[in-house]
Amino acid sequence: MVLTPAAAQAYEQLSQDLAIGVFSPGTRLPGERDLASHMSVSRSTLRAALGALEAEGRVSRSAQRGWFVPPRVVGEPPSTLQSFTEMARARGLRPTSTVMRREIRPATIDEADHLRIAPTSPVIQIDRLRGLDGNPVCFDVVVLPEQRARALMDIDLTDRSLYDLLRDECDVAIHRSAYSVTAAIADAPLAKLLGASVGSPVLVGEETAYTADGTPVLLGVNRYRGDAYRFQADLFRRQQHKP
């Protein structure tokens, strides 16, 4: 895209503002009229500069809501089990976690079946809102057998990794996770939590985590903003043997 000198100057100024965090990932830019006035350029010049940034994936446009800085995207490396905290820190981001609910309750039949415990056995449910650099990106619900994870009821879970706490406080080390991802849309309560629009795309990850001896110890449902999460996997073709 060829820019006029004025648009190129506006592009450089906006690029610098994005680089130093004047406009944080996941936030909306000021309205075009206000932003153009602040930069002392016309709206057409501003739009040209924003269009160049949009082509690079550094801003995005909503016809109804204006211009936004895309949230930073997180995702597991292929075939590697990482906690949300580990994923974030590996990318130089600050992981946050706010506990919305923590209680002991009877297990449902499905939960008991997946965790291989008796129906109505006590389980701990923990609901958390997870974020990156202060921006909410995931609503996380986990269920664990109370007998294995009782210490979690008495620990401050704010901004902490559940995998680490299970290992350090409960002597439960997660070894592998059976994980599936499906697409969904955000209803009103979830959209409010994630700072998204009602009906916006959501990726739902469901996991069953196991210890090294194959014992299931955690059920999780993670609802990510669709624009903030990427799932990767290595796929291998089964060897075909000639008769």
**Report for 120-129, 156-165, 200-209, 230-239: range of highest mean pLDDT:** 120-129
Q: Looking up tokens 């210890």, which residue turns up?
A: 211
CA distances from 62 to 46, 54, 67 (A): 16, 11, 6
| Distance of alpha carbon 162 from alpha carbon 106, whole angstroms | 21
Model confidence pLDDT, tens digit, residues 123-159 = 999 999 999 888 899 999 999 999 999 999 999 999 9
pLDDT value, residue 209? 92
pLDDT value, residue 140? 95
Domain ranges of the chain: 5-68, 84-225
Half-sphere exposure at residue 106, Cβ-oriented, CA atoms within 13 angstroms: 5
Higher pLDDT, 145 or 241: 145
Determine phi and psi for 109, rounding to 5 degrees.
Answer: -60, -45
CA distances from 82 to 13, 31, 74, 88, 161 (A): 37, 39, 11, 10, 11
The yes-or-no answer to whether 5-68 and 84-225 have a common fold is no
CA distances from 41 to 2, 21, 194, 240 (A): 17, 22, 34, 64
The residues pairing with 202 across neighbouring beta strands, listed in sequence order, are 184, 225
- CATH classification for the domain delimited by 5-68, as one of 3.40.50.2300, 3.40.50.300, 3.90.1150.10, 1.10.10.10: 1.10.10.10
Higher pLDDT, 223 or 25: 223
| Distance of alpha carbon 126 from alpha carbon 102, whole angstroms | 5
pLDDT value, residue 207? 92
Mean pLDDT, residues 83-96 taken together = 79
pLDDT band at 58 (very low <50, low <70, confident <90, very high): confident
Name which CATH class applies to 84-225. Answer: alpha beta
Share of the chain above pLDDT 70, in %: 89
Model confidence pLDDT, tens digit, residues 206-215 = 999 999 888 9
Question: Mean of the per-residue pLDDT values for the chain?
Answer: 86
pTM exceeds cut of 0.75: no
Contact 141, 127 (CB under 8 A): yes
